[in-house]
Structure formats: C-alpha cells, structure tokens
Structure 1
Amino acid sequence: MKSGLIALILLLPCAGMADIPKQRLDEGKQIAFDRNKGNCLACHVIADGESPGNIGPALATVPDRFKDKQRLREQIWDATRFNPETSMPPFGRNHILDAEEIDKVVDYLWSLE
C-alpha cells in the first residue's frame, strides 16, 4: 500500500507522458484489458480493444475529461463516491486491483488520445 502511494506521489507531478516508461504504459494497458483484472473493456471502448462494451463512455482523450490524474485515480478507486448509482465497480475499495495496478491503469488511460 505504501509503495503504491509513493509511486502515485512521484508520478503525479510529471507534466507529460514522455516521463512514463513505455513498459509501465504497456502494463497498465494489460491490466485494463485483462478480463480477470481491470476488465475496462466490459463497459468501455478503448482503441485496440476487442469486444468492447457500451455502458460507459469511450476511453479516449481522458485528460480532457478529468482535471488531473488524481481525480481519474479516485474515479477508478471508488466511482460510487461521485455517483452512488454507477455501475462501475470500486476497484480499489473492493480490492479488485491493488494501488500499484490502479496507478498503472491511470498512467495508461491518461496517455490515450
């Protein structure tokens, strides 16, 4: 848990995605696409994703929809804080993903254009 928070604190000040290693973005994508982990494709369209859902908004130009990476992270951690009626699972609160996995997904989603 502490290592995830430290990673988040270190990554948030980064101005651009150029500072995020490609391997980390690839790991975030893998988690997001994994039907047994993030499973973002169950509800969202993501570029290169197979058999996407249409319950949630398409995940493209994510920085245009969230004021910063911390807000996106909070959404993934527990979307019910912002919309109690959401169908999005609280990935962090329910321990579906650990803090480091969420941080990687955030980095990946933030990189989408």
Structure 2
Amino acid sequence: MSRLITALLVASLCGLLHSARVPATEQAELIAEGRAVYLDKSRGNCISCHAIDDADAKLAGRQGPPMFMMAQRFPDKRKLRAQIWDATRNNPLTIMPPVGKHWILSEEEIDAVVEYIYQF
C-alpha cells in the first residue's frame, strides 16, 4: 500500500512540475506580447503617455503615471486590468482613453499589457 501511495505522489508531483513549466512559457509569451503592444505607437500607444524602465522605451511620455511598483500599487491585478480597460470609471476626467471599452486594444492585448507592466 505505501508503494502505491508513493507512486501516486511521485506521479502527481511529476504532473505538477510539467504543468508548472507550460504556464511559465505561456507567461513569457504573454509578457513579450504585452511589451510589444506597450512599445508600439500604432497599437495601444501606451509609451506615448507612460514612462517605463525598458531600454527600448524611446521617447516615453510623461502625461500618465510612470509604470513602476505596479504590484505594490495594484495588489489586485484585476483592478489594474479594469483601470486599463476603462480608466473613466475611476476618474471621469482622465485623459487616458478607455482602451477596452472603445476596442482600442483587444481583451488579449490588455491581458498581455497587464502582465508586462505588472513586473515593474
């Protein structure tokens, strides 16, 4: 009986280790996509208003808040996503366009941008 339990535990652990690697790869791809959207002035145009600590962030704007300490500023990642989706909900006078509400970015692009900036 103990060999069976040990075998089941080892099999479960191997399954967990395998599944942990797959999301890490997907996470890296999501962050890379978020970075591409953030830096691309023809897509989300985030870089035009928000500074970020990225070597490729050329001519970053200073209109919006800089992207730093995002996990501390938004411990609940869903609130950060909601802010990007429609900043007018929290501040009707904001100059940030509601990129989700007005379909400036797709849902997937917003998710990717959130993952990218959340690491800063």
Shorter-chain TM-score tier: 0.7 to 0.9
Alignment gaps of 5+ in structure 1? 1-17
- What pairs up with 1:85-104 in 2 under 5 angstroms? 85-104=93-112
- Which residue number corresponds to residue 79 of structure 1? 87
Query: SS of the counterpart of 2:33?
Result: helix
Shift of 1:24: 1.5
Alignment gaps of 5+ in structure 2? 1-22
Cα distance between partner residues in 2 of 1:71 and 1:107? 13
Question: Please, what TM-score do these two structures have when normalized by structure 2?
Answer: 0.74
Question: Please, what TM-score do these two structures have when normalized by structure 1?
Answer: 0.79
Give % identity. Answer: 44
Q: Which residue identity lines up with residue 78 of structure 1 in the other structure?
A: D
Cα distance between partner residues in 2 of 1:53 and 1:34? 13
Cα distance between partner residues in 1 of 2:99 and 2:90? 14
Cα distance between partner residues in 2 of 1:34 and 1:82? 26
- Which residue number corresponds to residue 29 of structure 2? 23
Query: SS of the counterpart of 2:78?
Result: helix
- Which residue number corresponds to residue 41 of structure 1? 47
1:70 pairs with one of 73, 78, 100? 78
Query: SS of the counterpart of 2:83?
Result: helix
Larger helix proportion, structure 1 or 2? 2
Q: Post-superposition, which runs of at least 4 consecutive aligned residues in structure 1 deviate over 6 A?
A: none
Cα distance between partner residues in 2 of 1:21 and 1:64? 20
1:110 pairs with one of 112, 115, 118? 118
